[in-house]
């Protein structure tokens, strides 16, 4: 078992003030693989104090120096990429082949993008008799989830540091190990004391203190809608900047002229990535009624190629869910789909054969799902696809937009102009057209209850900047 006995405070690995620790479990084996400190409110206070003390000097650091330090962080991440991938597969369960590319590779690419971006970004501009300047917001508290533990950390920490903010990071206690490796990399990169601080622990103990702390100027949170509402409520009395990246119930709209095999394959893949534990997962497949039967046959055939297995096996496509709690949640949604008379096409709530140990669930596809069903309205966070039908494009838009979420969506059509027209009608922060690839410079975030603000690219940088106008006579 790997022991993490210290927090990273004010540039030093520091013992926590309490004596409680949190166990980290491998979801494929159910074995405890590590333990981390359960930080106390006093530890969180120390982290904020260190970040506050360092804020002015770091905010005045030249952009070129900040970029150079980010460059050293990028080098450290690249050097330890395989270790990061192996660690995240062990704590989250994403198959190792995907972890190398997504869980470890993507965060390094995001850091690299900010090195280039701040070298080109206009932090000052003249508007008539005004000089408009963009300055660091100050102390940024970043609270991150477990499903993409390093990427979600980097999507906040990289732009915060690039903007000149100091950081207090609270990673998810479910999958925290990659954050400790990142802290080691940051320490080796030589950031000034107090610029980056790591406090591990629970949301109730650490996260809530950070959200309401008067010396925290900005809070960036990724997680559930319930927890995001709590963060916003706690932040309100101090009127601090708040960015929230919350849940999703994304629809993939397949139009009647789409390349069906490509559309169905792409949608199933976008639903099952990371065992469905993805906020942008395309969990609702909307298809014209007249081609429903064709789509069902394709979807079942493709879904059955996602056989769950050991995430360290190079050929595995579907790993376990992250925890026993998550397994119970997903099974309960599958049972709700059956109870509400959706048509179970493949999968189900029973454990996959031969995988009774570990938090595995069968890849599941439901047909004849209607908009009022629980599985069509609520975020499941598991490999569960709902196939829904529509009669015309207006009805497709109404169904796609008919949830409380608006994070992502997809459109499939052989006519790019028609696909774009549909995409413009969807109330979602990102819309993939015909399988368009992820762009780490494009804004990431959602409409409605999917959140407030944007991450990645210049949009993510600007979340950590205040704007000042100076008028000259």
Based on DSSP, count helices (H) and strands (E) in the chain, helices before strands.
Answer: 16, 23
CA distance 225 to 37: 26
Q: Are 110 and 153 in contact (CB under 8 A)?
A: no
Closest CA to 146 of 72, 82, 227: 227
Q: What is the DSSP string of 115-130?
A: HHHHHH--SEEEETTE
Q: Which of 91, 165, 279, 463 is catalytic?
A: 279
Q: Which of 91, 208, 245, 463 is catalytic?
A: 245
HSE (CB half, 13 Å, CA atoms) of 177? 23
Helices (H), 350-392: 374-377
Compute how many other C-beta atoms are within 10 angstroms of the C-beta atom of residue 392.
11
Does 229 participate in catalysis according to the annotation? Answer: no
HSE (CB half, 13 Å, CA atoms) of 44? 28
Give the DSSP H/E element, type plus range, for residue 224.
Answer: none
Quote the strand ranges of 26-146, DSSP E: 32-37, 124-127, 130-136, 139-143
Q: Are 284 and 337 in contact (CB under 8 A)?
A: no
CA distance 348 to 363: 8
Q: What are the angstrom distances between the C-alpha of 30 and each of 38, 88, 323?
A: 21, 15, 8
Q: Are 461 and 159 in contact (CB under 8 A)?
A: yes
Does 245 participate in catalysis according to the annotation? Answer: yes
Known catalytic residues? 245, 279
């Amino acid at each position: 078992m790997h022991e993490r006995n210290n927090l990273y405070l004010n540039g030093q690995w520091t013992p926590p003030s309490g004596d409680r620790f949190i166990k980290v479990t491998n979801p494929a084996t159910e074995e405890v693989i590590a333990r981390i400190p359960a930080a106390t409110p006093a530890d969180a206070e120390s982290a904020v104090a260190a970040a506050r003390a360092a804020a002015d000097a770091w905010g005045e650091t030249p952009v070129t120096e900040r970029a150079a330090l980010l460059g050293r962080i990028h080098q450290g991440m690249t050097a330890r990429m395989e270790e990061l991938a192996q660690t995240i597969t062990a704590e989250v369960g994403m198959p190792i082949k995907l972890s190398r590319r997504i869980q470890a590779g993507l965060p390094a690419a995001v850091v690299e993008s900010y090195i280039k971006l701040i070298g080109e970004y206009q932090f000052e501009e003249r508007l008539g008799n005004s000089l408009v300047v963009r300055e660091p917001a100050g102390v940024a508290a970043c609270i991150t989830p477990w499903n993409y533990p390093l990427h979600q950390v980097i999507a906040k920490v990289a732009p915060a540091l690039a903007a000149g903010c100091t950081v207090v990071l609270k990673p998810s206690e479910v999958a925290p190990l990659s954050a400790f490796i990142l802290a080691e990399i940051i320490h080796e990169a030589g950031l000034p004391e107090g610029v980056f601080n790591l406090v591990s622990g629970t949301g109730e103990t650490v996260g809530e203190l950070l959200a309401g702390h008067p010396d925290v100027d900005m809070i960036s949170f990724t997680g559930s809608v319930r927890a995001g509402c709590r963060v916003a409520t706690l932040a309100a009395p101090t009127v601090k900047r708040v960015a929230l990246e919350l849940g999703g119930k994304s629809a993939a709209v397949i139009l009647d002229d789409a390349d069906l095999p490509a559309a169905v394959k792409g949608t199933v893949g976008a639903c099952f990535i990371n065992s469905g534990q993805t906020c942008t997962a395309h969990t609702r497949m909307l298809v014209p009624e007249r081609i429903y039967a064709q789509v069902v046959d394709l979807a079942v055939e493709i879904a059955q190629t996602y056989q769950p297995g050991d995430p360290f096996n190079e050929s595995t496509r579907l790993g376990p869910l992250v925890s026993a709690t998550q397994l119970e949640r997903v099974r309960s949604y599958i049972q709700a789909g059956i109870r509400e008379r959706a048509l179970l096409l493949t999968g189900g709530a029973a454990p996959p054969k031969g995988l009774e140990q570990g938090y595995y669930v069968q890849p599941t596809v439901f047909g004849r799902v209607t908009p009022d069903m629980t599985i069509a309205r609520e975020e499941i966070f598991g490999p569960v696809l709902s196939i829904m039908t529509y009669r015309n494009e207006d009805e497709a838009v109404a169904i796609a937009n008919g949830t409380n979420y608006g994070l992502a969506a997809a459109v499939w059509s052989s006519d790019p102009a028609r696909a774009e027209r549909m995409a413009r009608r969807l109330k979602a922060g990102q819309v993939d057209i015909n399988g368009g690839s992820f762009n780490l410079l494009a804004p990431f975030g959602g409409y409605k209850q999917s959140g407030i603000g944007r991450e990645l690219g210049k949009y993510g940088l600007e979340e950590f900047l205040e704007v000042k106008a100076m008028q000259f006579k």
